């Protein structure tokens, strides 16, 4: 589940001042920590899914498919003269490709292809026809075979324009279960296409002469009609020159909308500039000095280039209203790069101006970019206005009669040019070749013959396995979130306090400084911990909370937990160090009384000695040699050894009374690292004899019912529970310890 960072105003008395309200933001780091805690729930579905993907792609389950290709070249007809370019249709490569595809998909072509490759003899196809005979009672088995093969070939054959080489190259591809048959199919297709093309050329050549004669007669009539209309109009009208313009009546509404959009963009940019200026003045940044950066150097040159591009952009947008293209988009990209270039080139000058203020740096750069956009937007609006003025002038200076005269003159000239070209080239081979090729008479040759495929194209094992892994990952992450939702452990301080009726006096994060590392001793780790680390600050808060209690805090403190692996020993050690640093004039002893599983010696990096707490308790004799120094001068540690008889017997009340009396004679305060109270009863024996008991709860780990049972059991023996230390909080609620978020700037810097 998502975790929230809480900042701003709290209720009176909770230590935070300020008028800000509480804000909630998503902390993405918590998602990663959640997944790390549930990593096996994520990893197992991934491994299982990848195994399934690998097995499914085996040939036993998915038949491999092979693809064979061949490249054909289509020879275009010779170029026509300008006058005849529009007379004879010259289809595009897409149209020619569509005709070839239609021919290949026809029943006649596929039937010949099936016969040439002997596909009817495929046993699998014949078996399919026999099984489906009852579903198609009106068809024979042979007809069913042909039906299935034609459907199969229509799905398997692909023809498209080649992505490599020249534009007149066509690639034919066939996918089949057998590599040899795939090659034979491609070879038969290319031969069939070439033979069909030659046959079409022979048929079309016979109609060339009739076509040319009919076209010549038609254009003679069109020429006579155009000349008659021109003469009739010239008898009553005078010729006037018309000034050309970019705008026409047809695109005028769209041009108005474009100009309106440009003005709105200018207004919006000006509003943004005013807002940025206000913010910069609030940061004591001179806006006038910022704008001076645009009047000199490369920024001024780039703005001049941008204004020239704005004129080109306006003309391109007006042209694209009737002839769509991507020219204006390319110009717009150039304009955006100019603005970004101004921002980049001015960065050093802005840095000198704002004095290294990160917030002012970003605002200043955005101010310069917005100011540049305003200059370009003004140029764009001015260019649109100029086009509209030119259009208005044209309407005044070019009457409709002048336009009609020009149209008639152009029609007559065009008809005369086509007629003369036809009359001159009537018998030429150029027209005949163009006519043949315009219908379907392409000349086609094989450029790259088909080769036997060596590797299958399907199934794509890598892609399928990768997809399986991604699906397994998604299921694993979903499972981790579901399990996290139904996890009964405590993950919130308020919930813990309400459930057990005890105050959480400290929330302990991870302590990376004292984790075991290959090149780091335990002493170095604790020194780093005490060097004002974030974890030490949390333990110091806890120590101060304890020392504010009656009589200056408890003289004897027992630290226990519900079960092992709760971080009890870590908490006891770090808390004892924090108390010792707060009370440098008092002598404090930290003693390990978890005889069944002692860990303080190993945790502090201390080797086993002959004298420890187990020998003193066994012999009922105090020995100062058991006191071992730590990195804090006034803190001493008494360790315990595992495997002693006390590990099985535990701590008796008589032994603990004697030990506690001895400890009080040698120390001002005593911190006891006790065992967990659910597996063993030792803490229940110790509790009535100490002043206070502190319970450690590992957040996100210990079930809530276990915690309740531990607290209730402890209360049955002594009513001296002073609170809870919530451990592992940085793993469950990391936003509590994002010190950079709270402004962790108080450490001394060298």
Residues 634-670: pLDDT tens digits?
999 999 887 666 665 667 889 899 999 999 999 999 9
Q: Is pLDDT above 70 for 736?
A: no
Q: Is 696 a residue whose pLDDT tops 90? A: yes
pLDDT at 22 over 80: no
Q: How confident is the model at residue 416 (pLDDT cuts 50, 70, 90)?
A: confident
Confidence check: pLDDT of 673 > 90: yes
Residue 735: the pLDDT is 45
Arithmetic mean of pLDDT, 440-451: 72
pLDDT for residue 89 is more than 80: no
- For residues 11 and 697, the model is more confident at 697
At 283 the pLDDT is 83
pLDDT of residue 627: 92
Give 268-300 pLDDT, tens digit per residue. Answer: 999 988 898 888 888 888 888 888 888 877 888
CA dihedral 30, 35, 36, 41 (to 10 degrees): 160
| pLDDT tens profile 164-189 | 656 678 888 888 888 888 888 888 88
CA quadruple 660, 666, 671, 676: dihedral, nearest 10: -30
Q: Residue 238: what pLDDT?
A: 46
Phi then psi dihedrals of residue 671, to 5 deg: -115, 120
Q: Identify the band that residue 560 occupies on the pLDDT scale cut at 50, 70 and 90.
A: very high
pLDDT, average across residues 137-153: 84
pLDDT for residue 242 is more than 50: no
Is pLDDT of 240 > 50? no
In the predicted model, what is the mean pLDDT of residues 102-119? Answer: 82
What does the pLDDT average to over 468-496?
81
Asked if pLDDT for residue 520 goes beyond 80, the answer is: no
The sign of the CA dihedral 460, 465, 466, 470 is positive
Question: Residue 244 — very low, low, confident or very high, per pLDDT cuts 50/70/90?
Answer: low
- The whole-angstrom separation of Cα 549 and Cα 268 is 62
Number of H-type helices and E-type strands within the chain: 28, 14
Most confident residue range from 114-123, 249-258, 446-455, 558-567: 558-567
Residue 82 has pLDDT above 60, yes or no: no
Range 501-514+522-737: architecture per CATH:
3-Layer(aba) Sandwich (3.40)
Q: Residue 262: how many CB atoms within 10 A of its CB?
A: 23
Specify whether the CB–CB gap between 564 and 677 falls below 8 A. no
Indicate if the pLDDT at residue 705 is higher than 70.
yes
Of 458, 463, 475, 462, nearest in space to 48 by CA: 475
| Structure confidence at residue 401 (pLDDT) | 60
In percent, the amount of the chain with pLDDT more than 90 equals 13
Residue 129 has pLDDT above 80, yes or no: yes
CB 576 within 8 A of CB 541: no
Query: Residue 226: is its pLDDT beyond 60?
Result: yes
Q: Residue 408: which residues within 8 A CB-CB, separation 6 or more?
A: 226, 229, 230, 233
**pLDDT of residue 12 exceeding 50:** no
pLDDT surpassing 80 at residue 713: yes
Q: Which residues pair with 25 in a beta bridge?
A: 5
CA distance 13 to 395: 79
Mean per-residue pLDDT over the chain, rounded: 78
The Cα 216–Cα 420 span in angstroms is 9
Q: Where are the beta strands (DSSP E) in 483-632?
A: 504-507, 556-561, 588-592, 628-629
The pLDDT, as a whole number, for residue 100 is 78
Predicted local distance difference test score (pLDDT) of residue 730: 65
What's residue 80's pLDDT?
55
Instruction: Identify the helix (H) or strand (E) that includes residue 171.
Output: strand 169-176
At 74, is the pLDDT very low, low, confident or very high (cuts 50, 70, 90)?
Answer: confident
Residue 477 — pLDDT band, cuts 50, 70, 90? confident
pLDDT category at 267 given cuts 50, 70, 90 is: very high
- CA pair distance 337, 306, nearest whole angstrom: 10
With tokens 């003004």, the residue in question is 378
Using alpha carbons, select from 535, 567, 512 the residue that is nearest to residue 701.
567
User: Across residues 138-155, what is the average pLDDT?
Assistant: 85
pLDDT given at position 422: 66
User: Is the predicted pLDDT of residue 384 greater than 70, yes or no?
Assistant: yes
Average pLDDT over residues 563-582: 90
Rounded distance between C-alpha atoms, residue 217 and residue 220, angstroms: 5
Q: Is the pLDDT of residue 201 over 50?
A: yes
* Domain ranges for the chain: 1-37, 66-209+428-448, 252-397, 501-514+522-737
Q: Output 426 or 255, whichever has higher pLDDT.
A: 255
Please give the pLDDT value at position 333: 85
> What's the pLDDT band for 605 if we cut at 50, 70, 90?
confident
Q: Which of 661, 708, 713 is nearest to 687 (CA)?
A: 713
Q: pLDDT at position 56, please? A: 83
Strand partners of residue 100: none
Identify the residue whose tokens are 């309400």: 498
Name the helix (H) or strand (E) containing 695: strand 692-698
């Amino acid at each position: 589940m998502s975790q929230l960072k809480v900042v701003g105003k709290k209720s009176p008395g909770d230590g935070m001042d300020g008028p800000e309200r509480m804000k909630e933001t998503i902390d993405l780091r918590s998602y990663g920590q959640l997944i790390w805690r549930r990593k096996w729930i994520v990893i197992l579905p991934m491994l299982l899914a990848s195994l399934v993907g690998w097995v499914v792609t085996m040939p036993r389950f998915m038949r491999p498919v092979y693809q064979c290709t061949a490249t054909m070249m289509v020879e275009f007809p010779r170029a026509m003269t300008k006058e005849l370019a529009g007379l004879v249709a010259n289809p595009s490569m897409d149209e020619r490709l569509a005709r070839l595809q239609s021919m290949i998909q026809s029943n006649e072509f596929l039937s010949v292809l099936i016969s040439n490759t002997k596909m009817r003899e495929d046993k699998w196809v014949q078996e399919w026809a026999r099984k489906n005979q009852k579903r198609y009672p009106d068809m024979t088995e042979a007809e069913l075979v042909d039906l299935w093969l034609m459907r199969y070939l229509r799905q398997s054959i692909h023809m498209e324009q080649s992505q490599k080489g020249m534009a007149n190259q066509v690639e034919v591809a066939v996918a089949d279960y057998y590599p040899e048959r795939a090659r034979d199919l491609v070879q038969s297709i290319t031969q069939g296409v070439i033979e069909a093309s030659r046959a079409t050329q022979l048929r079309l050549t016979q109609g060339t002469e009739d076509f040319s004669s009919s076209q010549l007669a038609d254009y003679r009539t069109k020429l006579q009609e155009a000349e008659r209309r021109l003469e009739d109009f010239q008898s009553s009208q005078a010729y006037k020159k018309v000034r050309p313009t970019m705008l026409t009546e047809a695109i005028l509404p769209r041009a108005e909308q474009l100009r309106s959009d440009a003005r709105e963009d200018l207004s919006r940019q000006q509003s943004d500039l005013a807002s940025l200026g206000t913010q910069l003045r609030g940061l004591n940044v001179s806006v006038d000095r910022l704008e001076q950066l645009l009047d000199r150097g490369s920024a001024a040159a780039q703005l001049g280039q941008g204004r020239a591009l704005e004129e080109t952009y306006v003309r391109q947008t007006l042209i694209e209203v009737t002839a769509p293209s991507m020219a204006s988009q390319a110009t717009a990209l150039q304009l955006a790069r100019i603005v970004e270039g101004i921002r980049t080139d001015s960065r050093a000058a802005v840095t000198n101006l704002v004095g290294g203020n990160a917030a002012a740096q970003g605002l200043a750069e955005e101010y310069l970019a917005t100011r540049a956009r305003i200059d370009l937007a003004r140029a764009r609006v001015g260019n649109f206005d100029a086009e509209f003025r030119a259009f208005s002038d044209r309407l005044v200076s070019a009457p409709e009669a002048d336009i009609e005269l020009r149209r008639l003159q152009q029609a007559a000239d065009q008809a005369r040019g086509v007629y003369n070209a036809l009359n001159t080239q009537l018998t030429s081979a150029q027209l005949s070749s163009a006519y043949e090729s315009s219908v379907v008479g392409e000349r086609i040759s094989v450029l790259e013959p088909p080769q036997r495929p060596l590797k299958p194209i399907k199934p794509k094992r890598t892609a399928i396995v990768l997809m399986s892994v991604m699906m397994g990952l998604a299921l694993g992450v979903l499972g981790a979130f579901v399990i996290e939702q139904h996890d009964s452990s405590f993950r919130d301080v308020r919930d813990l306090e309400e459930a057990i009726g005890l105050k959480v006096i400290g929330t302990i994060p991870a302590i990376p400084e004292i984790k075991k590392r290959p090149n780091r001793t335990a002493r170095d780790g604790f020194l780093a911990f005490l060097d004002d680390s974030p974890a030490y600050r949390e333990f110091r808060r806890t120590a101060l909370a304890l020392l504010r209690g009656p009589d200056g805090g408890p003289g004897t403190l027992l630290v226990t937990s519900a079960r092992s692996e709760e971080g009890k020993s870590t908490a006891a050690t770090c808390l004892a160090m924090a108390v010792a640093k707060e009370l440098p004039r008092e002598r404090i002893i930290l003693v390990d009384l978890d005889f069944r599983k002692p860990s303080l010696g190993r945790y502090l990096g201390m080797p086993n000695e002959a004298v420890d707490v187990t020998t003193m308790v066994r012999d009922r004799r105090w020995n100062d040699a058991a006191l071992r120094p730590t990195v804090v001068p006034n803190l001493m540690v008494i360790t315990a050894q595992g495997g002693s008889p006390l590990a099985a017997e535990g701590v008796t009340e008589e032994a603990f009374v004697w030990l506690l009396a001895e400890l009080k004679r040698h120390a001002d305060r005593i911190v006891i690292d006790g065992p967990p109270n659910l597996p063993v009863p030792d803490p229940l024996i110790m509790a009535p004899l100490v002043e206070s008991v502190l319970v450690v709860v590992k957040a996100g780990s210990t079930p809530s019912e276990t915690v309740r049972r531990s607290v209730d059991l402890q209360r049955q023996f002594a009513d001296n529970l002073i609170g809870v230390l919530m451990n592992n909080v940085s793993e469950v609620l990391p936003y509590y310890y994002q010190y950079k978020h709270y402004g962790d700037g108080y450490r001394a810097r060298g």
